[in-house]
Amino acid sequence: QKEVEQDPGPLSVPEGAIVSLNCTYSNSAFQYFMWYRQYSRKGPELLMYTYSSGNKEDGRFTAQVDKSSKYISLFIRDSQPSDSATYLCAMSIYGNKLVFGAGTILRVKS
Amino acid sequence: GAVVSQHPSRVICKSGTSVKIECRSLDFQATTMFWYRQFPKKSLMLMATSNEGSKATYEQGVEKDKFLINHASLTLSTLTVTSAHPEDSSFYICSTGSGEQFFGPGTRLTVL
């Protein structure tokens, strides 16, 4: 079993839809949870960063962490074609290396 | 967040040559930097953890004599791919941060 599980997709949605991306993990020691967006041939861009459990909202993006279920989510409201990219979840114990999910390919159709 | 740059963004070299990739933290005191490689349509694979003023820690299966890492200052870490071969062709990315990690734009290496 992988330490972090993420469905690779691809996930295809129409423009304006609400997108839900998810990851599950097995290591209860993880405290820091991140979502990255990566366009082709570019470095990952940090979208959301959450410490421990809870929700965080930034514009069209909402990140949720449920440590009791070992489950994290990223919601994208009013999705746009420019949101088409690979979304990577990542988590760590402070100061330690990141553990990544496989990445989910998202395609938003206009 | 931290701003991370990489140089060069793209390099093409002949088999057998060595290539140096620089990773700079522009606004953050980076005591630790991480080096990753990424194959097409795959997630990032951690190669090594670079520590300022000390030896890097390599992940299992990564040849330390082939991928030389130097982290001589709080703003610069370098990865040198020695005697590069076509199988070393990949996308190399560095990151730094505390808690959250910020990534550089990546370096695409093509070995002919």
Q: Give the strand pairing for A11-14 and A104-109.
A: parallel
Confidence of residue A95 (pLDDT cuts 50, 70, 90): low
What are the pLDDT digits (tens) for B55-94?
A: 999 999 999 999 999 998 999 999 999 999 999 999 999 9
Q: Is the pLDDT of residue B1 over 80?
A: no
Provide the strand spans (E) within A8-44.
11-14, 19-25, 32-38
Q: Is the pLDDT of residue A94 over 80?
A: no
Q: Is the pLDDT of residue B41 over 90?
A: no
Residues of B with CB under 8 A from a CB of A: 1, 4, 6, 32, 34, 43-44, 46, 49, 91, 93, 95, 98-106, 108
**Token pair of B70, please?**
């130097």
Q: What is the pLDDT of residue A79?
A: 98
Rounded-to-integer distance, Cα B34 and Cα B103, Å: 9
Question: Do residue A34 and residue B93 have CB atoms under 8 angstroms apart?
Answer: no
Rounded-to-integer distance, Cα A102 and Cα A34, Å: 14
Question: Do residue B101 and residue A92 have CB atoms under 8 angstroms apart?
Answer: yes
Range A48-75 average pLDDT: 94
Torsion of Cα atoms, B79 then B85 then B90 then B92, to 10°: 0
Q: Is the pLDDT of residue A1 over 80?
A: no
Rounded-to-integer distance, Cα B94 and Cα A109, Å: 32
Question: Do residue A95 and residue B32 have CB atoms under 8 angstroms apart?
Answer: yes
